[in-house]
Structure 1
Amino acid sequence: MQFFKKFFILTILSLSFISCSGTKSTTANTTKDGSSIKNAIKVKSVAEEYQIVRQLCPNCKMNGQALLSEGNKHYDLLNLTNEKGEEVKYYFDINSFFGKW
């Protein structure tokens, strides 16, 4: 019986985490939703960028990727098209690894 109780609790927690992972925060200065350079999502690799994009924009088609610089900072911009045909852009802060290899 205790096994089912633990399984049920873990399932509920997992579902809660999944349903919350796609929501965007509306709190000023804490939003890192990738909507602009100012709100760029910090990543540790290009692979992480693609993993995040797959979560944020499932079934989107990749149109291109660009390297942007602002001051001494570097960013990746991923351009996509969603299922509705709308252009979607995500900005990523790549300063943790850019130019360090």
Structure 2
Amino acid sequence: MPETHWTVRWPDGTEEALYSPSSVVAELFTPGTAYPLPDFLHRSRIAMERASNRVAAKYGFACSSAMAQLDRIEARVAQFDMAAAPEVTCLKITQ
């Protein structure tokens, strides 16, 4: 269950490194791929929930870091106008 970081480019052009306690993000995101914002949010929720569940299965408690990362992603997504059909690009995934 290696920690994984993935870098995204938000619709406003800013880049941000995101964190997962698990490599599950590599199952849901592909570097170089742009995702419509609703799809990106959906995949992020799945990834962080799976990562937290993997931590819980191994250590007996959910991962607060995964859920905190999801909170930050949701807050960032809320800043964009969905009517503009924004996309988030996955730039890279590192373990």
Normalising by the residue count of structure 1, what TM-score does the alignment of the two structures yield?
0.28
Rg: which structure is higher? 1
Normalising by the residue count of structure 2, what TM-score does the alignment of the two structures yield?
0.30
**Structure showing greater relative contact order (alpha-carbon pairs closer than 8 Å, 6 or more residues apart):** 2
